[in-house]
């Protein structure tokens, strides 16, 4: 790709943490620590490594169902050769918050089966305990497994082939509309306390100024929520809302509800076309907030040479018994070549990248020790953290309180 104007803004870099890594055989690698996946120490080590690499944030995967080879299948997963079992992502983020100082913490929380009131105060509290480093990866649930586990409601399961029928598309659209309502309620609750609501006025005996607390009075098709939150407004005002999206309806959810979208281009051509689709979705939903910050997701298998990386991938695939497949492009090569790819896509218009390490202990370390220095040499990545919140790091504007603005 030539003729592009170099993108002068710095690259943003995140890693997606999930168990031992994104390759199903990751846990078999010599340093993988498969016995530690449920310990605070393991997650503290990963996040401090990410922080050593000056990364913008980490995301943490989660689901209201056990991992399975195919979450959309009706068949019971009987595999015993892959990682199964995980901790609640938001609580993992909360535990590592006091052990880190800079790196953003973005847990995955599903919308379909959760209470917006609980999600709002949990993410707000993560923002309080991390001093403004919290985000939320919004995940729309609705597989058969999740619905059966939670049992609060009966829902037609969302299937992989949903786009192939009008009914399927309508069901998906409804689920995503509900997710948009969920995020709207969460955001309103974050604003339901004005920043200066706590006054501690001894003369009048008042701890809060109740005129600076607001009912949110959300009435939607799926639920209504009165508010205000029980938790004061988080330090960022609005923690960073992110979503992974692969097609039109999810792009539109991101455009309606998120600050950051993760997309999955597989080549240069898609890199350009998906960016176009995201901008199109923004126009269709009438997004009037600042345009989405767009990250490309990449699974990364790194090596000191291209051959070494390929050898690693081959070894992992053999251990897994099948080649790695992913919704995202799988990059196999050196950190220098990865840096070139990121710089090229950055010039296309991507703000950042969320890297999914194939083997966390190895590929996260390679990102920190090799990729980051390569990007720094290119002048495209920070050499130290600036003070500030995750929003500020990502260049998001100050979150104006909708209720304070209305009453001002």
Site for other proteins (CB under 8 A): which residue of 115, 177, 195, 337?
A: 115
Site for other proteins (CB under 8 A): which residue of 7, 87, 285, 343?
A: 87
Residues binding other proteins: number (CB under 8 A): 75
Span from 31-39, 306-314, 332-340, 376-384 in contact with other proteins (CB under 8 A): 31-39
Residue 113 as a binder of other proteins (CB under 8 A): the answer is yes
Instruction: Write down the least CB distance from residue 128 to other proteins, Å.
Output: 6
Residue 150 as a binder of other proteins (CB under 8 A): the answer is yes
DSSP bridge partners of 224: 219
Question: What span, in angstroms and rounded, lies between the C-alpha atoms of 183 and 191?
Answer: 13
- Please spell the DSSP secondary structure of 320-334, one letter per residue: HTS----SSEEEEE-
Between 92 and 275, CB nearer to other proteins: 92
Between 197 and 374, CB nearer to other proteins: 197
Site for other proteins (CB under 8 A): which residue of 7, 44, 343, 402?
A: 44
Question: What span, in angstroms and rounded, lies between the C-alpha atoms of 226 and 54?
Answer: 40
Span from 36-44, 169-177, 300-308, 327-335 in contact with other proteins (CB under 8 A): 36-44
Three-class SS state of 138: strand
Residue 208 as a binder of other proteins (CB under 8 A): the answer is yes
Site for other proteins (CB under 8 A): which residue of 3, 8, 166, 204?
A: 204
Residue 270 as a binder of other proteins (CB under 8 A): the answer is no
Residue 186 as a binder of other proteins (CB under 8 A): the answer is no
Q: Are 235 and 389 in contact (CB under 8 A)?
A: yes
Handedness of CA 137, 89, 296, 172 (dihedral sign): negative
Tokens of 269: 């051509």
Helix (H) or strand (E) run with residue 104 in it: strand 104-110
Site for other proteins (CB under 8 A): which residue of 48, 125, 326, 376?
A: 125
Between 218 and 251, CB nearer to other proteins: 218
Nearest to 275 by CA among 14, 60, 4: 4
Q: Are 242 and 138 in contact (CB under 8 A)?
A: yes
Asked whether the bond before 302 is cis by omega within 30 degrees of 0, the reply is no
What is the bridge-based pairing of β-strands 206-208 and 198-201? antiparallel
Question: What span, in angstroms and rounded, lies between the C-alpha atoms of 25 and 68?
Answer: 14
Span from 108-116, 251-259, 286-294, 303-311 in contact with other proteins (CB under 8 A): 108-116
Work out the number of other CB atoms within 10 angstroms of the CB of residue 404.
18
Site for other proteins (CB under 8 A): which residue of 61, 184, 195, 198?
A: 198
Residue 124 as a binder of other proteins (CB under 8 A): the answer is yes
Instruction: Write down the least CB distance from residue 198 to other proteins, Å.
Output: 7
Residue 69 as a binder of other proteins (CB under 8 A): the answer is no
């Amino acid at each position: 790709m030539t003729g592009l104007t170099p993108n002068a803004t710095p690259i943003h870099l995140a890693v997606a943490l999930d168990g031992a890594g994104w390759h199903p055989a990751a846990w078999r690698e010599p340093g993988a620590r498969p016995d530690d996946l449920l310990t605070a120490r393991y997650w503290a080590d990963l996040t401090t490594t990410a922080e050593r690499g000056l990364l913008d944030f980490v995301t943490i995967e989660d689901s209201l169902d056990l991992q399975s080879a195919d979450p959309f299948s009706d068949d019971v997963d009987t595999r015993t050769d892959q990682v199964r079992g995980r901790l609640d992502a938001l609580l993992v983020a909360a535990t590592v918050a006091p052990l880190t100082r800079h790196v953003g913490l973005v847990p995955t929380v599903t919308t379909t089966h959760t209470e917006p009131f609980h999600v709002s105060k949990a993410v707000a509290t993560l923002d309080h305990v991390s001093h403004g480093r919290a985000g939320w990866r919004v995940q729309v649930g609705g597989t058969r497994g999740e619905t059966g586990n939670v049992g609060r409601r009966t829902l037609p399961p969302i299937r992989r082939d949903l786009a192939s029928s009008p009914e399927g598309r309508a069901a998906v659209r409804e689920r995503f509309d509900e997710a948009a309502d969920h995020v709207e309620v969460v955001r309103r609750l974050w604003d339901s306390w004005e920043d200066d609501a706590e006054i501690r006025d001894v003369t009048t005996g008042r701890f809060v100024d109740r005129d600076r607390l607001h009912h949110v009075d959300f009435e939607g098709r799926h639920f209504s929520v009165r508010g205000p939150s029980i938790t004061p407004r988080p330090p960022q005002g609005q923690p960073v809302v992110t979503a992974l999206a692969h097609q039109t309806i999810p792009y539109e959810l991101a455009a309606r509800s998120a600050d950051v979208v993760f997309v999955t281009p597989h080549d240069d051509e898609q890199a350009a076309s998906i960016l176009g689709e995201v901008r199109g979705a923004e126009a269709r939903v009438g997004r009037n907030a600042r345009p989405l910050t767009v990250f490309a997701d990449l699974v990364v298998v790194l090596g000191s040479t291209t051959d070494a990386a390929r050898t690693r991938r081959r070894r992992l695939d053999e251990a897994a018994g099948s080649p790695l497949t992913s919704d995202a492009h799988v990059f196999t090569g050196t950190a220098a070549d990865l840096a070139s790819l990121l710089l090229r896509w950055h010039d296309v218009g991507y703000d950042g990248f969320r890297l999914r390490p194939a083997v966390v202990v190895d590929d996260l370390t390679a990102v920190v020790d090799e990729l980051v220095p390569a990007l720094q040499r290119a002048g495209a990545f920070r050499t130290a953290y600036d003070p500030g919140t995750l929003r500020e790091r990502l260049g998001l504007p100050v979150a104006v309180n909708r209720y304070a603005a209305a009453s001002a």
